Structure formats: C-alpha cells, structure tokens
C-alpha cells in the first residue's frame, strides 16, 4: 500500500522520522500521548517491554491499532534482537546465538537459517524491524562494546555471515546493519564517550566498509549510523550520525544506499555530552537520517519534537529536505507485510514457541565450542571450578546477572568443588581463590571479557604458578590469549546464555566434541608491540 505524503501535517511528517522508546509491558499514557497527540510514527522496544511472548504480541497489536486509528500508517516496531549477549526477548521465544558463536560454528547455511527463524518469530510477535546484524569488523581486542557481537575480525567473513543472516531475516522483516561505517576498531564505547577512528579512506575501504558495501549491494533495508568521528568521512569532528558529508555525501551519493538511515540511541554519551540529545536529533535529520532513536527520556523526546518543528518554521530544516527524509520512510513502509490486528496470540504461538528453532539454537552453540589451545578437559576427581559471574559490559547488554553456572553445577555435578568470583576480582578475591586451588589437582576457570577486566588475567597468571592442570573457558570475548602466555588449555564459548551454560555442563561431563573454529586471529604475545 502506498502512503501519500501530501496528506500529512507537519506534525505527522516529523512523527514519521522518530523512533521512541516507551516504558512498561502494557500500553501506557506515555505511549498513547506519543502516538495520539505527538504523532510519533515508530517505536523501539527493550527488555523492559518484553515479559513474555503473549504480552509482547498484545503490546505490539495495541501500538499498531493506535497508530492505525490516529494516522492510518503502520509503525516500525524495532528491537535489538542480535542474539547472544544482546537479546531483548528472553522468555518463551527462542534464545538465539550471537554473531561470533554463529561464525565459530562455521556454517553459512545456518546463518541464513537463523535469520529466517528469527524473522519468523519477530514478525509473528509484531516486530517488523530488527536492529541487527552487527556488521562491524572487530579487529581491536580492546574493543569494549562490540567483541562477540561481531562475526569476526576478518571483513570477508563478517560480510559473508552478515549477508546470509540478512537474507534470512528479510524474508520476513527489515534488517538494520550497524554501526556504519564501523565500530570494530575502537577502544572507547560510544555509549560512554565519543570515539574517533583516524584511518585513511584506503584502510577503511579495505576493512570497515567491506561488509556494509556488500549489504547495500544485497538490498539491506536499513543501516544504523555510529556515534563515531571518522575524519576521512566527517566534518568538524562530528560523529557519523551528525555528518551530512558522511550520511548524504558518502553513504547516499557515493555508495548509492537507498534504504533507511537509522541513528543509534541519541541519549548515548557520545552525543549527549558533546551536542545534546535535542539539538543532535535535528542535526541528524539535516545530515540525512530517516529515523531518530530516543530510547528512554520522555522529556527529551518531547523537546526534540519541539526543536525539529521550530527548525521547520525557521527554515533551518527546509520542507523539501523534510519531505525527502519522510518519503523514504513511507516508501519503505509500503513494503511492510499486512498485519491482522484482530488475530489472537494462539494463532501465531506456533511460530514463536518453536521447538525446532530452540533445538537449532542449542545445536549452533554446541557446534561453536572451540578448543583454541591445549587439550580438551577430562574432569579429575579433585577439581575446582571458578565461575565468573557475568555483568553487563555495555548499555547494549540486557543479560546482566541472569544466569549462574555455579548453581547449575551444584545441581548436575555436585562433587565438583566450586567458587564464584566477581567479574573484577580484587586482590583479596585472588588470594582466597589461590588458597582454594592449592588443594586440588585440576582448575577450571571461566573468564568473561578479561580483555576489559585485567584482574581476571592476573588471576589466571597466579593460578598458573601453582603448576596444576589449568583450563580456561572464555564465556564471552575470546581474547584472553592476547594478554597472557600462561593459559595451557583454552576453550571458547563466546556467550553466557542458557544454551552456553547447557553446553558447558556437557563439556564438563565429557559428553561433547569440540567442533568450533575460532573466528579471530591470534598473534603470539611476544611478536606484538
């Protein structure tokens, strides 16, 4: 169905360029006010909005009904359902694996299938845009925000896996490649600061841009801009999101991208601290963005609308520019699949609570289990398991502290001695664990982003001095070997999720073969500067 831009008021046009977060698991006064009074045309969902599939389905039906009654134009309802460590729907629907897990499992057919299965579930739930996949090439082991959210440090591999996932997903809904033109080689998290990537265009063409250019060629529906300054593309030290030179000049005109440009969250510190969310929301539309994401603050959402409206009145944002941005949104919405707003959850339940999808996801995590160095574990009678409790490393995570492997071990391997350790072990924690480890023949330690939390590396180094049979199992970023030469036996699982806990238990029991191949390159420690 085609939507006629000439029938929209200025307020309705502005609303089509906004993608706002809402509170709660039911439709609230906030959501009603945004849609009915402020004409906001799109919603972004978070874990706070998803209690279970039936509730989420009902919420999305309610949002679309309200949009239909108010505007007669469907909403984009988007979500960051990457899989693995960035998952928003935890309960009832399939818990899909993350990008690096999928890559380590080694099948492009499975990447397509995962996109297809995930798209089927999201569409059934009423989500029509997924803010995935991550097309960043994670070639910086110190990266605090991407890591296992990337398929690899190899641009060709990222492109190959990303494209297959996109094709599967876009059988059902729109994919959104992120974070253009690449968040992989930063050591700062743009949720917290404004990173800069200073490479010349030749280097960016050879690495960062490879997956994005492939995605554009293959017809991806949307790209998300990064809050990163790329001097090769941007002007005046601006992040990509606010750069007309990058979004309009480079992405639209040079690369020929015709899909939607979506901003990353405009309350992130890279934007808020340097430009202010409200002013930056206008700047992003001026630069070329089609959907502006303000995910959390209702006052900032309202102020941004007022600022954009004022800019139209003063011609800071000319009407023809506004119309160009809006027309792309309406043209894309014309391709959305029709939705039946009266059907009950029972009619779509089989798509979401799907045993085939769940078995597939477990199979991928099991296939990804990777022996990187040394020998597979053969559990000894006298052994200590040191469990690192997970913690959200970045604001993109919603998996903070949800799962505890030690509790599962108590249940399934009651004779295995265990010790929980905080994600940043103190000197006292390290001393205590060393004392515990002196009495056993074998030590099994899980690490969790030890590239970001170096006291975990210190614990590994201290444990290695005991001369025991030491096994390290990385439950997220696989970069431990960059920071120490004292790991004898090293296995990677790439995520700390219900499926990976189940796989880890199988590995401890000796039930699993290690089939995965690590999708990042290692150099010996002594050969790097």
HEC string for 165-211: HHHHHCCCCEEEEEEECCCCCCCCCCCCCCCECCCCHHHHHHCCHHH
Contact status, residue 211 vs residue 167, Cβ threshold 8 Å: no
What tokens were used for 357?
A: 């999808």
pLDDT in tens, 478-513: 999 999 999 999 999 999 999 999 999 999 999 999
Q: Are residues 172 and 259 in the same domain?
A: yes
**Residues lower than pLDDT 50 in the chain:** 399-401, 526-529
Interior angle at CA 13, CA 11 and CA 14, nearest 5: 65
Cα separations (Å) of 303 from 75, 298, 307, 312?
21, 9, 6, 14
- 134 and 212 housed in the same domain: yes
CB 411 within 8 A of CB 507: no
Look at residues 352, 382, 409 and tell me which one is the last residue of a structural domain: 352
Whether residue 420 is found in the same domain as residue 304: no
Residue 447: the pLDDT is 96
The two three-digit tokens of residue 53, written as one number: 């599939």
Residues 309 and 375 in one domain: no
Residue 397 within a domain: yes
Cα–Cα distance, 22 to 286 (Å, whole number) = 25
Cis omega (within 30 of 0) for bond into 96: no
Q: Which pLDDT value is given to residue 329?
A: 98
Token pair 């010349």 is found at: 200
Instruction: Provide the sign of the torsion angle of the four alpha carbons 169, 171, 174, 175, taken in this order.
Output: positive
Residues 262 and 247: beta-carbon distance below 8 Å: no
Residue 388 lies in a domain: yes
The residue to which tokens 């919420």 are assigned: 59
Q: Residue 202's domain is classified under what CATH number?
A: 3.20.20.300
The domain containing residue 304 runs over which residues?
A: 18-352
> Is 408 an annotated catalytic residue?
no
Query: What is the distance between the alpha carbons of residues 516 and 105, in angstroms, rounded to a whole number?
Result: 5
What is the pTM for the complete model shown?
Answer: 0.94
Q: Are 449 and 147 in contact (CB under 8 A)?
A: yes
Q: Three-class SS of residue 388? A: strand
Residues 23 and 170 in one domain: yes
pLDDT tens-place string over residues 167-177: 999 999 999 99
Choosing from 30, 33, 68, 191, the catalytic residue is 191
- Token representation of residue 231: 């001097």
Of 352, 385, 418, the domain-final residue? 352
CATH of the domain at 416: 3.40.50.1700
Verify that 285 and 381 share a domain, yes or no. no
Q: Which residue has the tokens 């990187």?
A: 372
Instruction: Pick left, alpha or beta for residue 467 (phi over 0 → left; psi -120 to 50 → alpha; otherwise beta).
Output: left
Neighbours of 346 (CB within 10 A): 8
Measure the CA–CA gap between 147 and 141, rounded to whole angstroms.
7
428 is catalytic: no
CA distance 235 to 121: 41
What 3-state class would DSSP assign to 474?
Answer: strand
17-57 pLDDT, tens per residue?
Answer: 999 999 999 999 999 999 999 999 999 999 999 999 999 99
What pLDDT is recorded for position 385? 98
DSSP 3-state of 123: helix
Q: Is residue 224 part of a domain?
A: yes
Q: Are residues 251 and 385 in the same domain?
A: no
Nearest residue to 248 via CA among 222, 282, 284, 220: 284
At 420, which helix (H) or strand (E)?
strand 417-421
Tokens of 30: 């906030």
> Rg of the Cα trace of the chain?
24
The verdict on 401 and 519 lying in the same domain is yes
Helical residues (DSSP H) of 381-528, grouped into ranges:
405-412, 427-437, 454-464, 498-509
Residues 164-206: tens digit of each pLDDT: 999 999 999 999 999 999 887 776 666 777 778 888 889 999 9
Instruction: Please report whether residue 488 resides in a domain.
Output: yes
Question: CA 121 from chain center: how many Å?
Answer: 17
Q: Which of 160, 185, 189, 264 is catalytic?
A: 264
Half-sphere exposure of 271 (CA within 13 A, CB side): 26
Pairing mode, if any, of strands 174-180 and 129-130? parallel
DSSP β-bridge partners for residue 417 = 384
Nearest in space to 244 (alpha carbons), one of 232, 256, 235: 235
Residue 389 and residue 96: Cα distance in Å, rounded? 21
Q: What b/e readout covers 66-92, taking b as 16+ CB neighbours within 10 angstroms? A: bbeebbebbbbbbbbbbbbbbbbbbeb
Which of 292, 317, 352 finishes a domain?
Answer: 352
CA distance 224 to 505: 37
215 and 282 together in one domain: yes
Number of domains forming the structure of the chain: 2
């Amino acid at each position: 169905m085609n939507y006629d831009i000439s029938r929209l008021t200025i307020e309705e046009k502005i609303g089509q360029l906004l993608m706002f977060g809402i509170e709660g698991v039911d439709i609230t006064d906030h959501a009603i006010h945004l849609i009915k009074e402020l004409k906001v045309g799109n919603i972004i969902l978070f874990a706070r909005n998803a209690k279970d599939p039936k509730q989420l389905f009902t919420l999305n039906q309610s949002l679309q009904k309200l949009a239909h009654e108010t505007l007669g134009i469907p909403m984009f309802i988007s979500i960051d359902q990457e899989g693995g460590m960035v998952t928003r729907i935890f309960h009832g629907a399939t818990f899909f694996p993350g990008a690096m897990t999928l890559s380590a499992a080694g099948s492009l057919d499975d990447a397509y299938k995962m996109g297809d299965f995930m798209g089927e579930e999201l569409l059934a739930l009423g989500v029509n845009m997924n803010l995935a996949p991550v097309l960043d090439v994670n070639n910086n082991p110190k990266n605090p925000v991407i890591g296992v959210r990337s398929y690899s440090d190899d641009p060709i591999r990222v492109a190959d896996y990303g494209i297959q996932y996109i094709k599967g997903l876009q059988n059902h809904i729109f994919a959104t490649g992120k974070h253009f033109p690449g968040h992989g080689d930063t050591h700062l998290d743009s949720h917290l600061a404004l990173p800069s990537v200073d490479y010349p265009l030749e280097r960016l063409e050879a690495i960062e841009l490879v997956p994005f250019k492939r995605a554009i060629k293959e017809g991806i529906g949307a790209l998300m801009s990064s809050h990163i300054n790329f001097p090769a593309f941007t002007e005046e030290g601006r992040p990509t999101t606010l750069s007309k030179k990058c979004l309009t000049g480079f992405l639209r005109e040079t690369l020929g991208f015709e899909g939607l440009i979506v901003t990353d969250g405009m309350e992130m510190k890279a934007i808020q601290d340097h430009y202010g969310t409200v002013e930056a929301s206008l700047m992003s539309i001026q630069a070329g963005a089609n959907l502006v994401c303000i995910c959390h603050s209702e006052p900032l959402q309202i102020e941004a609308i007022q600022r954009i409206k004022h800019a139209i009145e003063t011609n800071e944002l000319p009407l023809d520019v506004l119309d160009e941005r809006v027309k792309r949104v309406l043209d894309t919405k014309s391709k959305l699949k029709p939705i039946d707003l009266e059907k009950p959850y029972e009619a779509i339940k089989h798509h979401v609570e799907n045993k085939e999808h769940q078995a597939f996801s477990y199979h991928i995590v099991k296939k990804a289990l990777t022996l990187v160095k040394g020998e597979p574990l053969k559990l000894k009678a006298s052994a200590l398991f040191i469990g690192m409790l997970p913690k959200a490393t970045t604001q993109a995570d919603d998996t903070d502290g949800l799962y505890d492997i030690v509790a599962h071990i108590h249940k399934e391997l009651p004779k295995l001695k265990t010790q929980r350790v905080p994600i940043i072990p103190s000197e006292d924690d390290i001393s205590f664990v060393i004392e515990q480890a002196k009495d056993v023949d074998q030590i099994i330690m899980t690490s969790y982003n030890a590239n970001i939390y170096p006291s975990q590396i210190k614990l590994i180094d201290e444990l290695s001095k005991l001369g025991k049979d030491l096994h390290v199992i990385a439950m997220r970023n696989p970069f431990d070997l960059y920071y120490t030469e004292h790991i004898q036996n090293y296995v990677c699982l790439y995520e700390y999720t219900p499926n990976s806990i189940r796989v880890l238990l199988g590995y401890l029991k000796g039930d699993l073969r290690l089939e995965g191949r690590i999708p990042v390159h290692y150099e010996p420690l002594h050969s790097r500067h």
